[in-house]
Structure 1
Amino acid sequence: MTKKIIAFGASSSKNSINKQLATYAASQFENTEVEVLDLNDYEMPIFSLDRESENGIPELAKDFYNKLGTADLIIISFAEHNGAYTTSFKNIFDWTSRINSKNFQQKQTLIMATSPGPRGGASVLEIAKNRFPFQGAEIKGSFSLPSFGENFDKEKGITNEKLKSELFEIIQSIEL
């Protein structure tokens, strides 16, 4: 039976380098069906208890939550805004947690981050690594790609052999 991977960049940027990295990582798994999500398809009002009590949980939040439920593996690559999650991701995260506080539904999860700079989204990756197990993510690995422009090519993927090897080692350790 073919296993399903849901992958996305935790950013609303139309040219998201994190979406590129998540898509690349998902493509490295064999015999899988990959669905790449775009957070722009899940734009909702900013979460608040008042909005929830007045209007309920938006259908888009339910759709996103249900998509995660279809996955055998979730791959997320985080953009880092001021050392933390992007607002677009945090809003979806907040809304889906109202459906189930374990919004990752005990799914195997590979968390990643990249940035143009040398830290490669290390701060947001650390936040996710510490937080996601409480949200029902079974973290199977984490990977940071520093200096995206120097270490990634749209056609070739990761060009730095040491970093490529590091990601492949994580991928090979995940059983689907």
Structure 2
Amino acid sequence: MNILLISGSTRKGSLNKSLLEAAAEEAHNLKYSITTLPDELASFPLYHAEIEGDAANQKQLTSLRQHIDAADVILISSPEYNGFHSPHLHNVFTWASRKEAGKTTSVLEGKVVGLLGAAPGPFGGVRMLPRLSSFAGDHGCWVHPRYVAVGNMGSRLNDAGQLTCDETRQKLRNLIGETCRMAEPVQQLEPA
């Protein structure tokens, strides 16, 4: 089972990146294959149709599609911006949702997704996660119905930025395992 990790934040010291790093460790312990979407690959200019065909954007888009296509499961962690997922993540979805020439679906359609959120405050993105679930579903993703929302994330990290909270790690293991089990029937439907 191949898991792609996508962060809704590109800033250094991102709490959501720290949460995804912990998710990667837990997924590795569960014997899953992990790939993290590189920040530079997810850093597209703000989408509009006039720039979609630019050669540099097409090269980056091809690589983004390849990463998504190779994944059986996508784990996304996003900060909450006024109750919504990050504009950065929205832009990545917009670019990824563009159908390749000659294809009838986008690379996102049929992907199984698990959602995470981390915040310095007490709620951990809990207002954003249902909206992100709906947004991903609107793009054809099958979203696990439970989320991991981690409030007061900074207090759960050591000085190196590593997650030290066993309870949160257990929630990550549960979500990863359940989301991967959810993807098993989808794998059987895909053509070889």
Shared fold (TM-score, shorter chain, > 0.5): yes
C-alpha RMSD of matched pairs (Å) = 2.4
- Indicate if the aligned counterparts of 2:41 and 2:64 stay in contact, CA closer than 8 A: no
Which residue in the other structure is 2:38 paired with?
38
Which residue in the other structure is 1:128 paired with?
132
CA distance in 1, matches of 2:88, 2:171: 29
CA distance in 1, matches of 2:9, 2:65: 17
SS in 2 for 1:74: strand
- Indicate if the aligned counterparts of 2:37 and 2:67 stay in contact, CA closer than 8 A: no
Distance 1:40 1:86, change over 3 A: farther
Which deviations, in whole Å up to 9, do the C-alpha atoms of 1:33-71 show, x marking residues without a partner?
21112333332221112323x637532122112201101
The partner residue of 1:118 within 100, 119, 122 is 122
- Indicate if the aligned counterparts of 2:115 and 2:129 stay in contact, CA closer than 8 A: yes
Q: Which runs of 5+ in 1 are unaligned?
A: none
Equivalent runs, 1:35-114 vs 2, <5 Å? 35-52=35-52, 55=54, 58-99=58-99, 102-114=106-118
What TM-score does the superposition give when structure 2 sets the normalisation length? Answer: 0.77
Q: Structure 1 residue 113: deviation in Å?
A: 0.5
Distance 1:158 1:133, change over 3 A: farther
CA distance in 1, matches of 2:54, 2:41: 20
Distance 1:44 1:28, change over 3 A: same
CA distance in 1, matches of 2:162, 2:96: 35
Equivalent residue pairs, number: 172
Distance 1:93 1:66, change over 3 A: same
Sequence identity (%): 22
Distance 1:85 1:170, change over 3 A: closer
- Indicate if the aligned counterparts of 2:3 and 2:73 stay in contact, CA closer than 8 A: yes
CA distance in 2, matches of 1:58, 1:47: 12
Q: Structure 1 residue 158: deviation in Å?
A: 4.6
Q: Kindly indicate which of the two structures has a greater share of residues assigned to strand.
A: 1
- Indicate if the aligned counterparts of 1:103 and 1:136 stay in contact, CA closer than 8 A: no
Q: Structure 1 residue 110: deviation in Å?
A: 0.9
Q: Structure 1 residue 122: deviation in Å?
A: 1.8
Identify the range of structure 1 (115-124 vs 37-46) with the bigger mean alpha-carbon deviation.
37-46
